[in-house]
Amino acid sequence: MLARKQSVRGEPILADYGPDESLNENADIEWVNKVWVRRVLRMCALLSLVSVSLNTTRTFEKHPPLVYVTFCWDIFATLLFTAEMIAKMHIRGLITGESPYLKDRWCQFDATMVFFLWISVILQVFEITEVVPKFSYLSILRAPRPLIMIRFIRVFLKFSMPKSRINQIFKRSSQQIYNVTLFFLFFMSLYGLLGVQFFGEMSSHCVRNGTIAERVTLNDLAVPDAYCSMDKESGYECPQGMVCMDLNLPKSISGFNGFDDFAHSFFTVYQAASPEGWAILMYQAMDSLPAWRATFYFTTMIFFLAWLVKNVFIAVITETFNEIRVQFQQMWGERVQIQTESTPQVLKGDDSGWKLVTVDESKAVVIVMMVNVANAFVAASISFVHDERPREDFFKTYYFAEIVLSLFVAVILDNWN
């Protein structure tokens, strides 16, 4: 009887780490467990990503009917995902049961996506009825919606290995990613604070003489727009006929990047660390303030954030995949690897016949390397003088030098003894 109990409740040795297949198989097959329903849900996740990608100002200006197309599709996808969530709660149980819904990580992710889908639909209703201005700051609530693409991708991410080992790998890698994330946020916060202290608000622009700051127009600005400094001893000085003036322009016009406060500075540091447009920000800071500040700030930021932290992230991800590979090797044993012969061999003949002889002489390799370096120097020394001579005249000497070099490498070194 004990053996029978173990056979019924024993855990499987191998487990596919897939969320859809981890449902309660002892329950009756409901509609949410059918294969075609799962495929429809994955396709809905993909189309929901397309819908949120179309939700831009320019897209709706060029194609106004897309407002209602995306709205109808979002309602359909939201209702479908909500029905799936309710069905899974009914099958698995909400909190109690063998595998409750709220205790499963993937189910928690699905419920979070449903929540943001409802937020997006409600926000779009308010925008269509003009209760909320279109593309206001509330549009940031749609930002998590692209994560729904994980529902489409995760079905392909499966590992057939003991679940305890998978959990061990994920626990160890998640701790490493957590540490690297803290490392990244530390530098982001540090350079965000340094940006506020070093630069602050940079709102001085070159404008025409007689311009009123409250009624400035595009025609009053320099072409191209130039930042300037009120201090005559540093920064950029406006040309004749223009004056440096502080313009209190709204962020929708001047842009959201800058170092006015910590929030904008944090966003600017993230943009510069991508690295995307950091050179323009550096030149703006050099025009507005002493140049050494911008040089020191952006040089060190690119080194630490764009290079160091990025490579640490890559190292952590590589280590995670290497750990998975090691676990597979421990399960299935080492496979015999076919080693390729890297030692060069040449065909050599004598009185007894032809045979392959291993070339282990390093002098020939060194000479070939020196010849290649010399060839690079010679090729780099080619210059042209615009004195109306034919271009072929400049290649006469180099042409014969290349012939001699080719003969030297192909004939002499190939017959090295």
274-296: pLDDT as tens digits: 877 888 889 989 988 888 999 99
Contact 192, 228 (CB under 8 A): no
pLDDT score at 30: 67
- Give the relative orientation of helices 278-288 and 291-301 as an angle to the nearest 10 degrees: 160
CA separation (Å) from 284 to 54, 59, 217, 241, 291?
Answer: 33, 31, 20, 21, 10
Task: Please state, in angstroms and rounded to a whole number, the distance separating the CA atoms of residues 306 and 314.
Answer: 12
Which one, of 205, 191, 180, lies nearest residue 267 by Cα? 191
Each residue of 127-180: pLDDT tens digit?
A: 888 888 877 788 888 888 888 888 878 766 666 667 777 777 777 777 888 888
Tokens at 2, concatenated: 């004990």
> Burial code of 163-193, b = ≥16 C-beta within 10 A, e = fewer?
bebbeebbeebeebeeebeeebeebbeebbe
Place of tokens 């010679």: 378
Which residues of the chain have a pLDDT value below 70?
Answer: 1-30, 155-161, 328, 330-349, 351, 357-361, 364, 384-387, 409, 412-417
So what CATH class is 13-158?
Answer: mainly alpha
pLDDT score at 22: 47
Q: Answer yes or no: CATH 1.10.3210 is held by domain 182-203+249-331.
A: no
Task: Please state, in angstroms and rounded to a whole number, the distance separating the CA atoms of residues 268 and 257.
Answer: 5
pLDDT score at 2: 42
Task: Please state, in angstroms and rounded to a whole number, the distance separating the CA atoms of residues 103 and 305.
Answer: 36
- Model confidence, pTM: 0.55
**Strand-pair partners of 345:** 358
Q: Where are the beta strands (DSSP E) in 23-170?
A: 160-161
Domain spans, the chain? 13-158, 182-203+249-331, 345-415
